[in-house]
Structure 1
Amino acid sequence: MARPLDHRKRAELLAGVVAYIAAHGLAELSLRPLAAALGTSSRMLIYYFETKEKLLVQALTTQRPDLAAVFADITEPAQLRARLTGFFDLNSGGAGADSVRVLLQVLGAACAPDSPYQDYANAAIATFITELAAALRRTRLAEDPEVVATLLVSALRGIIQDRVITGDTARTGRAAQTLIDAVLPAR
């Protein structure tokens, strides 16, 4: 008879996974070193999560911001510009930096044929575009909100990736602000 899952332990494991992958990378991720760093065994990780890929997806899911809440109260163009700038700053060097570093690796891995990360990546991108497009509709800033949201999400993700790789916060910060100002001009 299988013993019941210890949900507290499971949550602790998930909390440590993102920081570990941010520090060590996804490409060479192996369960044994990950388990050792988390103070458990690879067998226990499989018991809790079934596969390495499911473990990673579940860890990222716990880190995903509530994008509906991020954009829900926006009704004015200036609010949207400020919220996007704040979101960029937070997720490119603030508290969310580890999650973003791992997310960028997962998005890259999702490009491979039959990647186990494709569903997660599709959902992450679709959620961001849907919520940003809804805010664009409310502010009446775009004739085609989905296209403008796609442009912003994709370009900001590229600028964040640039910042993660180069560490150049000044240039990438100016680039993000230039993008936001160009795509969402003040009225």
Structure 2
Amino acid sequence: MPRPLDHARRAELLEGVIAYIADRGLAELSLRPLAEYLGTSSRMLIHYFGTKEQMLVAALETQRPDIAALFAGIDDPEVLKSRLGQSFTLNTTGTASISIRVLLQVLGAATVPGSPFTAYATDAIEVLITAMTETLTRINPSIEDPEAAATLLISGMRGVIMDWWITGDTGRITRSVNLLVNQLF
């Protein structure tokens, strides 16, 4: 008879998986070193999650922020500009930075043909674009193509955050964020 799942332990493991990826990266992820890091065995990870890919997607799902809440109630372009400018700081420090760092790794891995992360990455991008499109439409109904504007903004922010983590050039990146945000309005 299979051993029943300990849901509290499963949640603990998922939190540990995110910390591991943030600390050591997704590219070289292997079950044995991950299991050792988590204080368990690779067999137990398979018991809890099925496959490595299923485990990673489950861990990512625990990190998904409420995107709609980030932009809810914003009806003023200046408030949106401020919120986006602040998001650079929030997404590069503290606990949010772990989620964003892991998400960026997954988005990169999803570009490989046949990636097990394609569906997750597609959904993550669609959620962001939809929320931003709705916000831009609410703020300025005269924007000719709000979905394209939202795509440019979200993709640009994602790019400058990744650039900052690679280069650490805060001054250049801050200027770039401000330029990107101000281009829309």
Normalised by the shorter chain, which TM-score bucket? over 0.9
Root-mean-square deviation (CA, aligned residues, Å) is 1.2
* Structure 1 counterpart of 2:170: 169
Q: Secondary structure at the match of 2:2?
A: coil
The alignment-based identity, stated in percent, is 58
> TM-score of the superposition, structure 1-length normalised?
0.94
1:127 aligns with 2:127: yes
Q: Deviations over 1:112-131 (max 9, x none)?
A: 11100000000000000000
Q: Secondary structure at the match of 2:160?
A: helix
**For 1:40 and 1:90, how far apart are their aligned partners in 2?**
33
Q: Secondary structure at the match of 1:135?
A: helix
Deviation at 1:153, TM superposition (A): 0.7
**For 1:63 and 1:135, how far apart are their aligned partners in 2?**
22
**For 1:106 and 1:90, how far apart are their aligned partners in 2?**
20
Which runs of 5 or more residues in structure 2 are unaligned? none
Deviation at 1:135, TM superposition (A): 0.6
* Structure 1 counterpart of 2:158: 157
Deviates more, 1:118-127 or 1:138-147: 138-147
Deviation at 1:95, TM superposition (A): 2.4
Pairing 1:101-116 to 2, within 5 Å after superposition:
101-116=101-116
**For 1:20 and 1:155, how far apart are their aligned partners in 2?**
27
* Structure 2 counterpart of 1:18: 18
Deviates more, 1:173-182 or 1:86-95: 86-95
**For 2:89 and 2:98, how far apart are their aligned partners in 1?**
13
> TM-score of the superposition, structure 2-length normalised?
0.95
> Aligned pairs, how many?
184
Which runs of 5 or more residues in structure 1 are unaligned? none
Q: Deviations over 1:156-176 (max 9, x none)?
A: 111011011112222112211
Runs of 4+ aligned structure 1 residues displaced above 4 Å come to none
Q: Secondary structure at the match of 1:55?
A: helix
* Structure 2 counterpart of 1:8: 8
Letter in 1 for 2:130: T
* Structure 2 counterpart of 1:57: 57
